[in-house]
Amino acid sequence: MTTTAPQSPSLRGSDADAFLADFRSMSTFGATAGGGVDRQAGTPADGQTRNWFRGLAEGHGFEVRYDEVGNQFALLELVPGAPYIAMGSHLDSQPLGGRYDGAYGVLAGAHAAIRLQQQLAAGGDEPLFNIAVINWFNEEGCRFKPSMMGSAVFTGKLPAEQVLATTDPRGTSVREALESIGTIGDFSLDLAAYLEIHIEQGRSLEDAGLTIGLVESTWGANKYEFTVHGEQAHTGATVIADRHDALLGASALVVAAREIADGFSTQEHAVITSCGEFTVYPNSPVVVASRVQLLVDVRSTDADVLAAADAELHRRIAAIEESASVRIEQGAQHVWAAKAYDEAGMALAADCARSLGLPYGTVRTLAGHDSTNLKDLVPTIMLFVPSVEGISHNEKELTSDADMLAGVDLLTELLGRVAAG
Ligand code: GLV
Ligand code: MN
Ligand code: MN
Ligand code: MN
């Protein structure tokens, strides 16, 4: 006969333990060997995570609905007919992404709503609004472009039909992917305000010893799909003077983007540039590339700084066409304007952080979030918790349990105040 030692009560409390247990369960979906997750939008792993979240929400009395592009809404109807205060983020991930990016915010929103429900049951002030927790479809934009796709449709920035017809590199459309995981519907929501909490994905909070970041403004970002056209040739037999090497032109563009980041950043506003995707055709030994497809993104928190960097990128493209003897075609472009978050909302969040004794500061973001879209529709508050060493889009992404829990405490406090009107 075996006996088990009695479980010692947790020092953190049952709400905290419940959050951490749910976080660990959620992290098993699409889990990778390196400790991260692979839950690209509309894949079976994304579908399993969505179903798990549906079960969690329904278990706490939420009703779960989907809209026409697969945004998932967990609804807590407290005041029949009233508009909703929504919290949200995304459960999809990059390939070999981390467990926290997006998923933390969705779960934190659910737990904040559950705690508010408990406070109401214990006689707390009646809210003026209903509560929703939203898992936005395809925030990451790795399988289907652009990023922040579901929230873009919800806020009227992209037509649903265009999004549903968008295909991944294998030709599967968003509509087919959503149908295959069974998360497509016709729901729509009357929204009054939006709150999002997310890991910082940078290291400014950790460096400053802060627990909470109040995000004061979001990026401006210009993301471009370029195709560099050259001419396929023999790498040995074709003399240099006769070549139109697409890979040479594409490489020059990658280097130019980096030089623009170095040259156009100001003391106040960084310019961040990247090439995150690069495909060479035919990518074969002894063949000069005929074509390269690449994505270049240029970001800054300041519109003028971004515009200057962008103009330089286009000047450099013309110069590269000349020097590498290639043609560079600009395909789809996705553009977001830098903009501030709601000032009154930031002041309210600061007040909540003070009342909970949480060290906070203001931050800017150069990573995209669904709140980037939502802030153009309704008053929006964006909060960050620290990322260890700023690592993100990496299986090693980490936020401490204590910081995750502090974020849930703050979101709960903020939700209670916003919902009380
Ligand atoms: C998306 O998250 C981005 O930062 O582009
Ligand atoms: Mn994210
Ligand atoms: Mn991400
Ligand atoms: Mn993002």
Distance in Å, CA 137 to ligand 1 centroid: 14
Q: Could you tell me which residues are annotated as the binding site? A: 90, 101, 140, 198, 393
In whole angstroms, how far apart are CA 203 and each of 105, 268, 325, 365?
18, 17, 41, 11
Dihedrals phi, psi of 237, to nearest 5 degrees? -80, -20
Statement to judge: residues 195 and 276 lie in one domain:
no
Residues in the annotated binding site for Zn(2+)? 90, 101, 140, 198, 393
The count of domains in the chain is: 2
Instruction: Answer yes or no: is 255 within a domain.
Output: yes
Residue with tokens 């909302």: 345
Residue 168, token pair as written in the block: 């991944």
45 has pLDDT over 70? yes
Which residue bears the tokens 């916003």? 418
Are the C-beta atoms of 247 and 280 separated by less than 8 Å?
A: yes
- Is residue 1 assigned to a domain? no
Q: Are residues 363 and 318 in the same domain?
A: no
- Name the residue at shortest CA distance from atom 2 of ligand 1: 368
Mean model confidence pLDDT for the chain: 96
Residue 135 belongs to domain with CATH number:
3.40.630.10
Average pLDDT (320-326) is 98
Minimum CA distance residue for ligand 1 atom 3: 368
pLDDT in tens, 127-183: 999 999 999 999 999 999 999 999 999 999 999 999 999 999 999 999 999 999 998
Instruction: Check if 367 has its Cβ closer than 6 Å to any atom of ligand 1.
Output: yes
Task: List the CATH number of the domain containing 289.
Answer: 3.30.70.360
d(CA 49, CA 34): 19
Of 311, 336, 361, at which residue does a domain stop? 336
How far is it, in rounded angstroms, from Cα 302 to Cα 280?
33
Quote the ligand 3 centre to 343 CA distance (angstroms). 25
| Ligand 1 proximity of 88 Cβ (cutoff 6 Å) | no
- Whether the CB-CB separation of 369 and 381 falls below 8 Å is answered with no
Q: Strand 291-300 relative to strand 339-340: parallel, antiparallel, unpaired?
A: unpaired
How far does the centroid of ligand 4 lie from the alpha carbon of residue 149, in Å?
A: 11
Domain final residue, candidates 273, 307, 336: 336
* C-alpha–C-alpha distance, residues 294 and 142, integer Å: 13
Residue 274's φ and ψ, nearest 5 degrees, are -155, 155
The answer to whether position 93 is within a domain reads yes
Indicate the residue type of 315.
R
Say yes or no to pLDDT of 2 above 60. no
In whole angstroms, give the CA distance from residue 182 to residue 176.
Answer: 10
Domain-embedded: residue 5:
no
Please report, to the nearest 10 degrees, the dihedral formed by the alpha carbons of residues 127, 130, 131, 132 taken in order. -170
Examine residue 146 and say whether the peptide bond preceding it is cis (omega within 30 degrees of 0). Answer: yes
Residues 243, 180, single domain; the answer is: no
Residues 209 and 286 in one domain: no
* Residues 237 and 267 reside in one and the same domain: yes
Distances (CA, A) of 202 to 105, 206, 207, 287, 389: 16, 9, 10, 40, 7
Domain of 249, in residue numbers: 226-336
Whether 399 is in the pocket of ligand 1, judged by its Cβ within 6 Å, is no
The protein residue with its alpha carbon nearest to ligand 1, atom 1, reads: 368
H or E element, residue 327: strand 327-336
Q: Which amino acid is present at 164?
A: L
Q: Same domain, yes or no, for 60 and 173?
A: yes
Residue 81 has pLDDT above 80, yes or no: yes
Residue with tokens 């990573």: 367
Confirm whether 68 is domain-assigned: yes
Ligand 1 site-directed mutation target among 101, 138, 140, 199, most atoms within 8 Å of CB = 140
Contact 390, 208 (CB under 8 A): no
| Residue at 7 is within a domain | no
Residues 46 and 151 both lie in one domain: yes
CA-closest candidate to residue 305, choices 260, 272, 271: 271
Q: What is the pLDDT averaged over residues 92-107?
A: 98
Instruction: Please indicate, yes or no, if residue 73 is contained in any of the structural domains.
Output: yes
263 with 289, same domain: the answer is yes
Give 382-410 pLDDT, tens digit per residue: 999 999 999 999 999 999 999 999 999 99
Whether 218 lines ligand 1, by a CB cut-off of 6 Å, is no
In a shared domain, residues 193 and 254: no
User: Tokens 């990059």 identify what position?
Assistant: 94
Tell me, yes or no, whether 123 and 178 share the same domain.
yes
- Model pLDDT, residue 9: 60
Q: Mark which of 297, 314, 336 sits at the end of a domain.
A: 336
Residues 386 and 292 reside in one and the same domain: no
- Please name which of 175, 191, 202, 70 lies closest in space to residue 132, comparing C-alpha atoms: 191
Same domain flag for 46 and 187: yes
- 8 belongs to a structural domain: no
Q: Is the CB of 113 under 6 A from ligand 1?
A: no
pLDDT tier for residue 4 given thresholds of 50, 70 and 90: very low
- Rg of the Cα trace of the chain? 23
Give the list of residues 6+ apart from residue 241 with CB closer than 8 angstroms, or none.
none
Determine the average pLDDT of the residues in 23-32.
98
Nearest protein Cα to ligand 1, atom 5 = 368
Quote the pLDDT of residue 8: 58
Could you tell me if 380 and 195 are in contact, meaning their C-beta atoms sit under 8 angstroms apart? yes
